[in-house]
Amino acid sequence: MSDLSTSISLFTKAKRFIPGGVNSPVRAFKAVGGNPIFIKRAEGAHIFDEDGNAYIEFINSWGPMILGHNHPLIREAVIKAMESGTSFGAPTAREVEIAELITQMVPSIEKVRMVNSGTEATMSAIRVARGYTGKQKFIKFEGHYHGHGDAFLIAAGSGAITMGHPDSPGVTEGTVRDTLLAPYNNLDKVRAIVEANKDDVAAIILEPVAGNMGCVLPAPGFLEGLREICDQEGIVLIFDEVMTGFRLSPGGAQQYLGVKPDMTTLGKIIGGGMPVGAYGGRKEIMDYVSPEGPVYQAGTLSGNPIAMAAGLAMLHHLNDNGDVYTVLEKTGNKIVQGIKDSLNTLGLSYTINHIGSMYSLFFTAEKVYDFESAKTADTVIFGRYFQEMLKRGVYLAPSQFESLFLSTALEDAHIDQFLTANEHALRIATEK
């Protein structure tokens, strides 16, 4: 990486017209320092900035680019669909086809409704769960991100059983009262919350594998325990698979981990990276959605024909090519082992959480199993590590608390380049 003058100029201009100069906060690089890189195009395992610099990329649009960027299958599907128009606001055959395919790939989903984002999907799923159960409250987990809906922007309070406090101005105290917080991987706390709010908990929502406090895996028996609690108490169990859906397996994290939720939310992957989301679940729950039932939810661009075409191309490929997940697993194992080898050689303390094609490196000796343990990571070192990797042509997530996502476009030469850069970056970033 050399010249970044165009990106710097664009960021200066952007701050005049866009809050913070970006359209999503993490892009501003505030967690890692420096100026954000403005991307011009992407191809395969690489992204290219406005100054002509190339980077091996480990974000993949926060998950959906499983096959790498600008894959011919997706590109051709989009171009062909555009020949017929970009938006109709009316039903299309592709919506039916992708809905049927999703129900085949994810057995817990018997019916599915298309929306425009993961945030829309999670907001709608909570509303449907409340309508179905007739209850008001729901449980979410500290450090889990379900989009920017008011009900989800709640930070930890003084204790897991007491209500939390708004994590953003504009979130009302009334909203807070219906949102209950629990620490991830702690069944005892969940049971206590349920007991303290007896017969008033409509849903438990979580990322089955957390990706928004870094990659954090469920402890053995945790998801199974939640399933048992929900069955006993008549609570709707919702898996937010916006990140993990179709990434860890054709049936998502629920297939990979062997636990079946009542409802599932999905995101960008079902649009091949296009703006799209979906929520689905058991027929008896989904039949509460309008116009079949009384719970209202709508959207002019829901089921957009371009997004549906891209999603069909992606999902058919994943469904028909099981070796995709074998390749991703092999790539993940090679990269994580290489990072560990460098860390051990340098005598550094660390934790790496890894599952399939997702991983996070935490600069802490603590085991990372929830939000509090994730926060023990040294974010100053991470910021230096990020910048050193960027100098060497590797683009990582600009935050310690984000999972990294791999793609099938990563070849041995890319992995070797990454590991070489990683060794040098670790040495410099951790120098006293």
Chain position carrying tokens 């998502």: 252
Mapping DSSP to helix (H, G, I), strand (E, B) and coil, where does residue 342 land?
A: helix
Q: Is the separation of the CB atoms in 235 and 229 below 8 Å?
A: yes
Let me know if 296 is a catalytic residue: no
Let me know if 268 is a catalytic residue: yes
From the candidates 51, 178, 240, 262, which is the catalytic residue?
240
**C-alpha to C-alpha distance for 327 and 313, rounded to whole angstroms:** 19
Let me know if 80 is a catalytic residue: no
Phi and psi based region of residue 71 (left: phi greater than 0; alpha: psi -120 to 50; beta: remaining): beta
From the candidates 145, 359, 369, 395, which is the catalytic residue?
145
Chain position carrying tokens 């994590």: 167
**C-alpha to C-alpha distance for 247 and 66, rounded to whole angstroms:** 7
Chain position carrying tokens 């860890």: 248
Exposure of 213 by Cβ count < 10 A (0-12 exposed, 13-18 middle, 19+ buried)? Answer: buried
**C-alpha to C-alpha distance for 78 and 277, rounded to whole angstroms:** 17
Residues 6+ apart with CB under 8 A from 254: 106, 108, 208, 239, 241, 260, 261, 264
From the candidates 135, 140, 268, 375, which is the catalytic residue?
268
Instruction: Supply the residues annotated as catalytic.
Output: 145, 240, 268
